Amino acid sequence: MSGPAPARVAAFGRFEASRMLRSRWTALGVLVFLGAHALGRWQGAGNDGLFMAGYLVAFAVSFGPGLSADRGLTFDLLLVFNFLSPADYALGKSAGMLVWTVAFTAACWAIAVALGGGDVRFATWYASLLILVVVAALPFVVVADLFLSTRLPTAAVLIVLVAVLFALVALGVEPFTIQEWLGIQVTPYSCPSLVPLALRAGVGVVVTPALIVVGLRLARRV
């Protein structure tokens, strides 16, 4: 199997999305967001009612691409040598991640609308902002999941990111500059201000499957 086949990619993508959505960790993530945002609304915490913090923590707890788990069980080897090409595997995995991310964000959006008394504008803005953030970060999560034996690769990436940000600030880098680097210097409710972040998310979509293929080859799996 040399190149990707749309039917195989779609079938494996559906399998991966279904696996992730049925996971108890997904349910836990939704509950974490519900609790955090409900508390934020009740306490009047910031402009977003802990939407951003709740979403990121919930995402870190519940998002599991399963690359290290596949490697540990040699499931990736079984698939690549018998059913899929490396490109099929990488594209199917990536598609599953994206479908799960959209579904998870939609659940958070619905919770925010319900807790906000039907404020669709608020929920749509923060859901849009954060889905772009996490999609842009997918390549880093994939690298962590490929080379670390952990079920929480997103949490590992967040910990490293926070440590790097603290170090940069300690070295005198302005927070505004860091936000520009990350593409998160946005104006609330201004769609054009999301463009830099959307471009980074587009790069994340393209790079993620390529990294999975490279990871397979570096690990001498194919």
Domains of the chain, residue spans: 6-218
Instruction: Report the pLDDT averaged over residues 42-70.
Output: 86
Confidence of residue 221 (pLDDT cuts 50, 70, 90): very low
Distances (CA, A) of 144 to 17, 43, 53, 156: 20, 35, 21, 7
Instruction: Name the strand (E) or helix (H) holding 63.
Output: none
User: At residue 119, what is the residue type?
Assistant: D
115 vs 117: CA distance, rounded Å: 6
Helices 86-115, 120-147: crossing angle, 10 deg rounding: 150
pLDDT of 2 above 70: no
202 vs 154: CA distance, rounded Å: 19
Q: Considering only residues 103 and 9, tell me which one the structure prediction assigns the higher pLDDT.
A: 103
Instruction: Report the pLDDT averaged over residues 185-214.
Output: 90
Tokens for 79?
């698939």
pLDDT of 46 above 90: no
pTM comes to: 0.87
Instruction: Report the pLDDT averaged over residues 92-107.
Output: 95
pLDDT at residue 219, rounded to an integer: 63
* Share of residues in the chain with pLDDT > 70 (%): 93
Contact 130, 198 (CB under 8 A): no
pLDDT at residue 220, rounded to an integer: 57
pLDDT of 174 above 80: no
Contact 55, 108 (CB under 8 A): yes
Contact 153, 140 (CB under 8 A): no
pLDDT at residue 180, rounded to an integer: 72
- Give Dmax (Cα) for the chain: 56
Q: Considering only residues 9 and 150, tell me which one the structure prediction assigns the higher pLDDT.
A: 9
Give the long-range contacts of residues 119-126, CB within 8 A, separation 24 or more.
121/189, 125/188, 125/189, 126/48, 126/51, 126/52, 126/55
The neighbour count for residue 45, using CB atoms within 10 Å, is: 16
Provide the mean pLDDT of the chain: 86
pLDDT tens for 75-99 read: 777 777 778 888 888 999 999 999 9
Q: Considering only residues 46 and 210, tell me which one the structure prediction assigns the higher pLDDT.
A: 210
Instruction: Report the pLDDT averaged over residues 193-205.
Output: 92
What's the chain's length in residues? 222
